[in-house]
Amino acid sequence: MLVYLRLFKESFSFALNALRNNKLRTFLSLLGVTIGIFSIIAILTAVDSLDQSIKGQLDGIDKNLMYVTRFSFGPSDIPAWKRESYPQTSYSDFEFVKKNVGGVEACAFALILKRETVKYQDKTLSNVNITPVSNEVYEIDNLKLYKGRFYNEKESDIGAAVIVLGYNLAKNLFKEEEPIGKVIRIYGRKLTVVGVLKKFGGLNFDSPDEKGFVPVNYVRRFLNISSKKVLSIIMIKPEDGIDVNAFESLLREKYRNHKGLKPDDSDNFFILKLSGQMEILNGIISFLNGVGWIISGFSLLVGGFGIANIMFVSVKERTNLIGIQKSLGAKNRFILFQFLFESIILALIGGLIGLTMVWVIVLIGNQYSGDFEFVLSFGNALLAFSISAIIGILSGIIPAISASKLDPVEAIRSGG
């Protein structure tokens, strides 16, 4: 064991000497490994951070949640022209599901509309996501209140002129002023703020932090939701412990009957499951990781050849020393491990530089990314060192073998 520790120390010393004595050559050789490790870990860190943020937003939401709508949120085998002919999902459809489908714990009706302008006194915010939705969304989306309350069933049914604000939206609109009870203008109409949600965090593209929630029946007073320009959705949360596949079959059968479809008619609606959307998300995440590996692989390949080149040069420069070591009794495996360790150490140095670059970018990124958090995981750091070690082994094995097989007499003669 002490022999190999001494061997590791000598190899590390040789590697440092190679760095010092041949700075430009070593820099160019390690550049490929450094860029390759940086690219892989940077992409994996970005994708993992994105994945963690999205799943963090969905934490607490039932993965069996279903949506009934005329649109498909993912790829579909149904031609676009046929999907365009599907009828709008109506409020009466929502009422039918709520009253006639068993096994439903909560059911909500929501509209997805263009973004609106929100005004409070002389303060104006544009491009704000205002979601008209029935009160059941509070339970379905596992929303939490920071202050005030969510509108109740009666207010939802009569379409009361009230609104619940996301945390960031309330902060941007009112700053330090108390928002509860204040009157704001949306759709050119006045609404009273009755609640503010707890800070959700994560990405902002569809975060509740940036949203306002209003009773859907309030918007139905002045908006024709039968228009194909409006996307309407029935959100359904099945009861805990229910057979989800059986529930989906029952929902489909009853909804088809409600829509007057004959047994031979194909569906003119979609039933989408959140778990299915998660599978699509996981597929996208895997695809992005795969692309990152492919792109970074070229840099690693170049870096591997660079290290192999520097190791062949190192063997040639130290041929005389190898001959002397062998003449003094050094075994082939000692020579082999000496050069192999040196190759691994050089690769690890390149990997460490690449990993450090990612770490610095993560620190800087988290200073300016707001609620989004970049995370350099221990697993990715370990992966960086593992890949570096593998590159070092693959790049150094052939030069190391060639060094270990040198004839001591010929090595001393040629080295002299």
**For residue 117, pLDDT beyond 70:** yes
* Distance from C-alpha of 297 to C-alpha of 293, rounded to nearest angstrom: 6
- DSSP per residue over 176-242, as a string? TS--TT-EEEETTEEEEEEEEEPP--S-SSS-GGGEEEE-HHHHHTT--TTSTTSEEEEEEEEPTT-
State both tokens at 138.
Answer: 């509070």
C-alpha dihedral (100, 249, 285, 76), degrees to nearest 10: -100
What's the rounded mean pLDDT across residues 380-391? 85
Q: Average of pLDDT values for 312-324?
A: 76
Average pLDDT (359-387) is 81
* Tens of pLDDT, residues 273-310: 876 566 666 777 778 777 777 777 777 777 788 778 77
DSSP characters for 346-394? Answer: HHHHHHHHHHHHHHHHHHHHHHHSTT------HHHHHHHHHHHHHHHHH
Confidence of residue 350 (pLDDT cuts 50, 70, 90): confident
Question: Phi and psi dihedrals of 313, rounded to 5?
Answer: -65, -40
Q: Please tell me which of 17-26, 210-219, 237-246 the model is most confident about, judged by mean pLDDT.
A: 210-219
Residue 58 tokens read as 């969905």
Q: What is the pTM of this model?
A: 0.66
The domain limits of the chain are 2-57+280-415, 102-241
Rg from Cα positions in the chain: 32
Tokens in use for 185?
A: 């203008």
For residue 139, give the nearest of 222, 249, 242, 239 by alpha carbon. Answer: 239
